[in-house]
Amino acid sequence: MTFTIGLLVFPGVQQLDLTGPYEMFASIPGATVHLVWKDLAPVRSATGLMLIPTITLADCPDLDVFCIPGGGGVNALLQDTEVLDFIRVKAAGARYVTSVCTGALVLGAAGLLRGKRATTHWNAVDFLKDFGAIHVNARVVEDGTLITAGGVTSGIDFGLTIAARLIGQNAAEVIQLSLEYAPEPPFNSGTPDVASPDVLAKARASMAGSRAERERLMAGFAQSLATD
């Protein structure tokens, strides 16, 4: 059996949002994984890693799995009609429509989260309601064919979830073992619930600029949703 999987790659993408699930997807027997963007020029991630698209929006085939990663570059996508139209078209024919981290907000901007259970990065969960979504506090949330993952590293859990849906749990566990995915973080600060107040405050401060711009954009979405 073969599978065609596409991940949107864009300027300012959080590279681990993309490369975490990419590693899982690329390990699925029979999978072809595309990095999709407007053109094939190298794209600089939020942390400076250069990523090379493999196919353009115009040439992208129908997809079994369509994934939108997150990152600071998401803000620009929220008002990019070309990208949002592309997402709507590809989502209509995909077996699974998915996101990692703040990529969920892009799905929301495309109108794909209304009435759906979903998750995103902890610093953006309050925006989900602006798109009519129902937030679920979990690493991976499934609502029918819509699958969303929380912040950054949850994309690895999500990638294995997709693998299990496509080729079965046993085969997905083989991928997990082959990649030795058995996380034991050195610190217990991975979520706001367990991080110290000092660490939480510093993390919020580091993301304040991107969030302020996102709040401005979300105000417009909330208003349009209320008038629909």
**Catalytic annotation present for 60:** no
Between CA 169 and CA 210 the distance in angstroms is 37
Report yes or no: 176 and 160 within 8 Å, Cβ to Cβ: yes
**Terminal-to-terminal C-alpha distance of the chain:** 42
> What's the CA gap between 197 and 195, in Å, rounded?
7
31, 65, 101, 107: which is the annotated catalytic residue? Answer: 101
Left (φ > 0), alpha (ψ -120 to 50) or beta: where does 101 sit?
A: left
Residue 135's region, left for phi above 0, alpha for psi from -120 to 50, else beta, is beta
Residue 102 contacts residue 47 (beta carbons within 8 Å): no
Q: Which helix (H) or strand (E) holds 6?
A: strand 3-8
Active-site annotation, residues: 101
